[in-house]
Amino acid sequence: MRFGGLVAVNNVGFSLAKGAVLSVIGPNGAGKSTLFNVITGVYKPTAGTVTFAGAEITGKPAYDVVERGIARTFQSSRLFGDLSVLDNVIIGMHTRTRTGVLDALFRPAASKREMAACVAKAEALLKAGSGDLYDQRYRPAGALAQADRRRLEIARALASEPKLLLLDEPSVGMDETETDALVADIRRLRVENPELAVILIEHDMRVVEAFPDNVMCIDYGSKIAEGSFATVRSDPRVQEAYLGKAAADA
């Protein structure tokens, strides 16, 4: 992915199986979020392909990518702050609902039944996560604490029934207790949805270490290491990327 003379993502290739977790690490500005934007259709890559579930989705619009089963959260909050917590989750179901404005006018019973089902599903998602989001379901999303906003973003992404969930720095703004709860949530998701694949961008190495099998490190847009957490952590190139050459040598 090029932006003029800047190569933000440079020949980064990887594959991910159903039910697997991949942690993407790297210094700030390494190209991690740009990689997510390429996968989810926010950017059309300058070169290369993105294949999901056997079909090429390179450059497909974001709504098409969501319909195919890829959902994501963002590094900065994208919630509808003036809407309730519950409404934010229901909005995440838009690719899975069937009724629309005309149905509300001419088939109101069907529209009401689908809305009731959406409310029940949204409440179940809010109950399932850690924290007290369900108890706050009628509060404006903008009034939530930062950690609860992150949880809500995950719940909204799950509302689209994804096959692949992309989490962009989900632990931002969380203390240690909240981060531990986040890890528990992801583990629970894997148990309840054994075929759900997860890619997460993280700076908190405690979160990465909780899912140690698949870790990829990016620096200056290029993949410099891939493997288990122990393997990637001990790679000299990774240590240099995070600490600088002098510190890494020491």
157, part of any domain:
no
153, part of any domain:
no
Q: Beta 215-219 vs 164-168: how paired, if at all?
A: unpaired
Question: How many Å apart are CA 149 and CA 141, to the nearest integer?
Answer: 7
155, part of any domain:
no
Domain count, the chain: 2
CA angle centred on 167, ends 198 and 232, rounded to 5°: 70
Partners of 51 in the β-ladder: 56
CA angle centred on 157, ends 151 and 163, rounded to 5°: 125
What residues contact 56, with CB distance under 8 A and at least 6 apart? 49, 50
Shared-domain flag, residues 117 and 181: no
Rounded to two decimals, the pTM is 0.90
Task: Give the per-residue pLDDT at 143.
Answer: 96
* Tokens read off for 113: 């039944």
Task: Give the per-residue pLDDT at 248.
Answer: 60
* Tokens read off for 2: 């090029």
Task: Give the per-residue pLDDT at 130.
Answer: 75
pLDDT band at 92 (very low <50, low <70, confident <90, very high): very high
Of 115, 145, 175, the residue at which a domain comes to its end is 145
CB atoms within 10 A of CB 221: 21
Alpha helices in the chain (DSSP H): 32-39, 62-68, 85-91, 101-106, 108-128, 146-158, 176-192, 205-210, 229-233, 236-243, 245-249
CA angle centred on 52, ends 161 and 214, rounded to 5°: 85
Shared-domain flag, residues 117 and 166: no
Shared-domain flag, residues 65 and 174: yes
156, part of any domain:
no
* Tokens read off for 214: 């698949």
Q: What end-to-end distance do the CA atoms of the chain give, in Å?
A: 34
Total residue count of the chain as it appears in this document: 250
Shared-domain flag, residues 175 and 213: yes
Q: What are the tens digits of pLDDT across the range 35-53?
A: 999 999 999 999 999 999 9
Tell me: pLDDT of 96 over 70: yes
3-class DSSP string for 132-143: CCHHHCCCEHHH
Q: Please say whether the beta carbons of 13 and 22 come within 8 A.
A: no
Shared-domain flag, residues 62 and 167: yes
26, part of any domain:
yes
* Structural domain range at position 140: 79-145
Of 145, 174, 202, the residue at which a domain comes to its end is 145
Query: Where does residue 57 fall: left (phi above 0), alpha (psi -120 to 50 degrees), or beta otherwise?
Result: alpha
Shared-domain flag, residues 19 and 125: no
% of the chain with per-residue pLDDT over 90: 82
Shared-domain flag, residues 134 and 167: no
Hunting for tokens 């089902």 — which residue is that? 117
Shared-domain flag, residues 124 and 57: no
Q: What are the tens digits of pLDDT across the range 59-78?
A: 999 999 999 999 999 988 88
Tell me: pLDDT of 101 over 90: no
- Single out the residue of 77, 61, 85 nearest to residue 146, CA to CA: 77
Shared-domain flag, residues 125 and 170: no
CATH number at residue 195: 3.40.50.300
Q: What are the tens digits of pLDDT across the range 157-180?
A: 999 999 999 999 999 989 999 999
* Tokens read off for 144: 């939530």
